[in-house]
Amino acid sequence: MSIQSLRKLASSIGLPPKIEKNRNADGIPKKPENLRVSKGVPRKTVKVRASSGMAHKTEKRRVTVRRRVKSRKRLMGKKRRRIPLTRSKIEHQVENSDKNRSYDQGYQEGLTAGGEQILAEHIPADIIIPDITAGEAMAAGVQVLRKRGVPLLDPQGVYQELEDALAANRPYAFIRLGDGELLTLAQEKVLTFEEIRRAGPFLPYAGITVPNLLARDEMISCIQVASLIGVPMSRHPHFQPLLFAVLRAYGIDYRKLRFTTSTMNYSLHELGLLMKLLQGRKILVIGDVAAKLRDVLMEQGMVVTGIVTPVNGYDDVPRVVAEASGRDFDIALIAAGIPSIPIAVHLAGIKGKVTFDFGHLANRMAGVEHPARV
């Protein structure tokens, strides 16, 4: 007999049906209010025994395995829980913020006071000049000093020189100097090893481990034979001032060198002259991001005949030059940090081709971030 038949029989003889806890009048388990069926949970078959005292008869039922599931609101609330800042952390952040504001304020005050002091020292004692500023006086003075200036080739001029060298199949090495290159050149000539380590913690990333006097001597030779040198416009002590200090230390007459800006690679690209220069030329790409830069250039219709990658620091220069010398190309784009200078100069001399110190423009075009400086 089924459980329903037994209950009907009990009712007919006046016995109240036994309703088990958590079951309704038909014997079907109630659904707990705080439970819900989880999606994807399998159902299983269980055996249910008839009420005690009855025949040992069982029947199979399909029941759903239930589990307590936390509400989405509770889960989201848990994810949003934040660890409160301790008092020391808050004080540290406030202190750093105050230091930054103090530095900016001090810098501006020092800049203004310094300019005004210099101006006061150079104004004759028998006159005053109404409404003059330090900036105005410097601008007027620079015009007088133009004859002492060193000419810089502009983007159109750089493009034309590269174009002419490519058309004539003539060797041309365009290199660029930044603080990393200048610090390398300054070793034990302008700055001590310790001063360079403090000023250039990024040098190992750029390919140089100080001391390296062989690299210093090779690079100074490269500067003297390069076709064009990109130089920094920044007046920071480790940029333009260090450039001329290095040249003086080696007895090099800067008037015999040819200069442009060290950011000329970006200028050519932003003005559309770079792609115009590369169009229809066989390109060799050298550096750690060479593969990705090759893909970007080829997507834009350029002809890339090969890559040389990676460049493992300055000691890897001979291998890279030897491997690149075996490739067929019209122009080599080199993005290898400080080693780019000897690679560009040696490769131009060996192959009689155009070489371009491409720098971090390679990272920008390839969509690859370069590590931040320490």
pLDDT digits (tens, 9 = 90+) for 253-279: 999 999 999 999 999 999 999 999 999
Question: Which is it for strands 43-49 and 282-287: parallel, antiparallel or unpaired?
Answer: unpaired
Q: Where are the domains of the chain?
A: 3-64, 153-366
Peptide bond into 211 cis (omega under 30): yes
pLDDT digits (tens, 9 = 90+) for 95-127: 666 666 776 777 677 767 778 888 888 888 888
Output the pTM of the full model. Answer: 0.69
CB contact at 8 A, 275 and 300: yes
- CB-based contact 339:313 (threshold 8 Å): yes
- Tens digit of each residue's pLDDT (9 = 90 or more) over 7-43: 565 555 555 555 455 556 555 555 555 555 445 545 5
* Single-letter amino acid code for the residue at 79: K
Residue 53 has a pLDDT of: 47
Q: Each residue of 130-174: pLDDT tens digit?
A: 888 888 888 888 888 888 899 999 999 999 999 999 999 999 999
Predicted confidence (pLDDT) at residue 308 exceeds the cutoff of 60: yes
In which band, very low, low, confident or very high, does the pLDDT at 52 lie, cut at 50, 70 and 90? very low
**What is the end-to-end Cα distance of the chain in Å, rounded?**
84
